[in-house]
């Protein structure tokens, strides 16, 4: 029997009861189809519009590049193919007074790394090129063959700083340029620096040279001749070899610097010959050691920038000032009592304090011969502090002398007004006593000591100290000393270097010498004094004036005089 089916019975799961089969105009299906049809029409219009817009933009950009910016991009492409390289000019050579070269230019290279210029040796450059590094250019290295002996005179070169670029004298320089940093290299930068050339080259897509298109040759810097005597400079440096800190100045009577040494020194090649350079026979093995030694300050040129109490060398000024002011004459004498008592303070003579002895009655010649403190205490008292300060300034103390080196110090010439302003204290007689023997607040450079010694040689005329040979000797002051008074001072200095004087290392020297030693107290009683000597020779026809300072070393006669003798030996061995 076949089963029966109702007309409303569901057939399987494909036709659920809730699905409507109504096909009237109000059905949802009709409305939905109308909406979708409009959306498809909008899409059909939007796509061609976007394509047309993008094509238009591309055409407009192309026209802009071809018509309006064609020359710009043409130049850009040309610059990618053609490059300009710098041909660096060699610096001028520095010579001594006899034509001996003191510096050399060696083949080398440079590389720009960021905003820094690095000087490279041939080996360093070859290694970098092999490793694919670029921006390596041909240059020259500055070599200083005499190393530490000439460091403070010649100086060294290095990359220009941002601060230097802002200075008027560097207006034509550009970042990365190499300039003189200290010494002659710095002060005569404009003469030593050459004019760089240019080379126009064509390169391929890999940056390799195809051909040279043009070239403008570089122009080397001008050579500079100094007043320095190379052999005397080396002799002065060697004479100071056992001194940790000190200085030597040797000059002609007209201010030409023959030798200038400062200890400790350094090898300037460390700054110029690349990182692989090894300093030999030098106190410092690398730049860091030089820059971080705050105790010894090797970059300080003590000859012109170090300031010290001059000790008994200043007795020359005390004596000549009192003679010129007519406070004493050749007959004036003082009895050496060993000690002067002022209230509760006592002022002793070095001879009495060390040996318990006095020296009887002394005039100015005898007082200079024996460097007697009692005589110069009383002479300073008769002269007065104001006249003493005035005369000290006339002889170049308390001011820069204008030597052609950077960093010269002025020193200090004290007076009552200075003490009141600086220390808030009045001036005492004891201050005048100390002043008369070159102690107390008085401070001077070795260059100033050498210069006032020159003034006595020249009967008061002071010549500007200089290192550039072509500079004419120029008088910068004239104290107009009488020959009679100068002869008294000279005689006292000759006797100081003769038997019975105090400068015993020079007693038997083959040439007559006029000298004055100095032993300058400083710091605490535990500190050794500074040792000084200043002299000229021959005594009656001066050729050379020599000043020696040995910091914290002992007595001038024991320490400084033997150094001066070695320098004199070199000069007069010729």
Q: What is the dihedral of CA 347, 348, 350, 351, to 10 degrees?
A: 160
Phi and psi torsions of 92, nearest 5°: -65, 155
**pLDDT value at position 293?**
97
CA distance 486 to 492: 10
Which residues, 6 or more positions from 541, have their beta carbon under 8 angstroms from its beta carbon?
A: none
Beta carbons of 301 and 405 less than 8 angstroms apart: yes
CA distance 22 to 38: 25
**pLDDT value at position 76?**
47
Q: How far is CA 329 from CA 316, 480, 484, in A?
A: 14, 17, 10
CA distance 232 to 246: 17
Half-sphere exposure of residue 304: CA atoms within 13 angstroms, side-chain side: 22
Q: Tokens for 470, please give them.
A: 């072509």
Q: Tokens for 151, please give them.
A: 């460091």
Within 10 angstroms of residue 26's Cβ, the number of other Cβ atoms is: 7
- Residue 405: name the closest of 299, 537, 513, 246 by CA: 299
Beta carbons of 332 and 375 less than 8 angstroms apart: no
What is the number of residues in the chain? 574
Q: How far is CA 190 from CA 141, 197, 269, 358, in A?
A: 18, 17, 21, 59
What is the residue-level pLDDT of the chain in tens, covering all 574 positions? 444 434 434 334 333 333 333 444 444 444 444 444 555 555 566 767 677 777 777 766 666 655 656 565 555 455 557 777 788 899 999 999 999 999 999 888 888 887 788 888 878 888 888 887 877 888 888 999 999 999 999 999 999 999 999 999 999 998 889 999 999 999 999 999 999 888 787 766 656 666 777 788 889 999 999 999 999 999 999 999 999 999 999 999 999 999 999 999 999 999 998 888 888 889 899 999 999 999 999 999 999 999 999 999 999 999 999 999 999 999 999 999 999 999 999 999 999 999 999 999 999 999 999 999 999 999 999 999 999 999 999 999 999 999 999 999 999 999 999 999 999 999 999 999 999 999 999 999 999 999 999 999 999 999 999 999 998 899 999 999 999 999 999 999 999 999 999 999 999 999 999 999 999 999 888 899 999 999 999 999 999 999 999 999 999 999 999 999 999 999 999 8
CA distance 434 to 518: 14
- Beta strand spans in 432-494 (E): 461-463, 475-478
Beta carbons of 374 and 337 less than 8 angstroms apart: yes
Radius of gyration of the chain (CA): 42
**pLDDT value at position 135?**
78
SS3 452: helix
CA distance 400 to 385: 22
- pTM for this prediction: 0.84
Q: CA angle, corner 328, sides to 324 and 334, nearest 5?
A: 145
Beta carbons of 359 and 351 less than 8 angstroms apart: yes
CA distance 309 to 24: 124
Q: Which parts of 325-438 fold into alpha helices (H)?
A: 350-355, 364-370, 373-383, 385-394, 416-423, 429-436
Strand-strand pairing, 339-342 and 334-335? unpaired
- Beta strand spans in 144-241 (E): 157-159, 178-180, 197-203, 209-216, 224-225
- Residue 97: name the closest of 232, 191, 268, 193 by CA: 232
Strand-strand pairing, 82-87 and 116-120? unpaired
Q: What is the DSSP string of 27-55?
A: -HHHHHHHHHHHHHHHHHHHHHHHHHHHH
- List domains and CATH numbers for the chain: 81-109+118-225 (3.90.1310.10), 249-263+301-572 (3.40.710.10)
């Amino acid at each position: 029997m076949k089963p029966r089916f109702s007309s409303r019975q569901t057939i399987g799961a494909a036709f659920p009861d809730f699905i409507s089969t109504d096909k009237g105009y109000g059905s949802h299906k009709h409305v939905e189809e109308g909406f979708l049809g409009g959306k498809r029409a909008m899409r059909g219009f939007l796509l061609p519009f976007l394509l047309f817009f993008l094509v238009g933009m591309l055409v407009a950009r192309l026209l802009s590049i071809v018509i309006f910016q064609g020359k710009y991009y043409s130049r850009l492409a040309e610059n990618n193919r053609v490059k300009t390289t710098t041909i660096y000019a060699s610096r001028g050579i520095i010579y001594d007074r006899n034509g001996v070269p003191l510096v050399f230019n060696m083949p080398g290279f440079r590389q720009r790394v960021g905003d820094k210029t690095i000087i490279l040796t041939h080996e360093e450059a070859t290694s970098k090129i092999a490793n694919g590094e670029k921006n390596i250019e041909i240059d020259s290295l500055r070599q200083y063959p005499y190393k530490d002996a000439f460091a403070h005179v010649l100086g060294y070169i290095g990359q220009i700083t941002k601060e230097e670029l802002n200075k008027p004298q560097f207006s034509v320089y550009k970042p990365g340029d190499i300039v003189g940093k200290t010494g002659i290299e710095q002060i005569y930068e404009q003469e030593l620096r050459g004019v760089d050339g240019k080379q126009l080259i064509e390169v391929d897509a890999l940056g390799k040279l195809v051909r040279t298109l043009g070239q403008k040759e570089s122009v080397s810097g001008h050579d500079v001749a100094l007043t320095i005597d190379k052999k005397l400079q080396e002799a002065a440096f060697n004479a100071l070899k056992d001194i940790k800190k000190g200085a030597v100045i040797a000059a002609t009577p007209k201010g030409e610097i023959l030798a200038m040494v400062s200890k400790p020194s350094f090898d300037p090649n460390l700054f110029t010959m690349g990182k692989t350079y090894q300093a030999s026979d030098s106190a410092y093995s690398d730049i860091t050691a030089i820059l971080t030694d705050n105790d010894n300050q090797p970059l300080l040129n003590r000859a012109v920038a170090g300031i010290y109490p001059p000790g008994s060398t200043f007795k020359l000024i005390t004596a000549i000032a009192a003679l010129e002011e007519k406070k004493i004459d050749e007959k004036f004498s003082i009895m050496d009592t060993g000690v002067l008592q002022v209230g509760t303070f006592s002022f002793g003579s070095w001879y009495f304090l060390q040996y318990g002895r006095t020296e009887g009655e002394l005039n100015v010649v005898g007082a200079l011969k024996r460097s007697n403190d009692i005589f110069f205490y009383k002479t300073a008292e008769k002269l007065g502090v104001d006249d003493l300060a005035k005369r000290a300034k006339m002889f170049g103390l308390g001011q820069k002398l204008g030597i052609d080196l950077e960093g010269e110090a002025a020193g200090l010439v004290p007076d009552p007004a200075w003490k009141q302003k600086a220390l808030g204290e009045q001036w005492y007689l004891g201050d005048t006593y100390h002043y008369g023997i070159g102690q107390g607040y008085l401070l001077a450079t070795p260059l100033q000591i050498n210069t006032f010694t020159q003034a006595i040689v020249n009967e008061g005329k002071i010549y500007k100290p200089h290192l550039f040979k072509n500079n004419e000797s120029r008088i910068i002051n004239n104290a107009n000393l009488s020959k009679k008074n100068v002869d008294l001072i000279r005689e006292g200095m000759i006797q100081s270097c003769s038997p019975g004087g105090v400068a015993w290392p020079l007693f038997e020297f083959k040439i007559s010498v006029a000298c004055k030693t100095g032993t300058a107290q400083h710091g605490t009683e535990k500190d050794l004094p500074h040792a000084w000597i200043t002299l000229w020779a021959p005594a009656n026809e001066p050729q050379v004036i020599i000043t020696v300072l040995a910091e914290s070393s002992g007595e001038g006669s024991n320490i400084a005089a033997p150094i001066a003798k070695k320098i004199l030996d070199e000069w007069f061995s010729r």
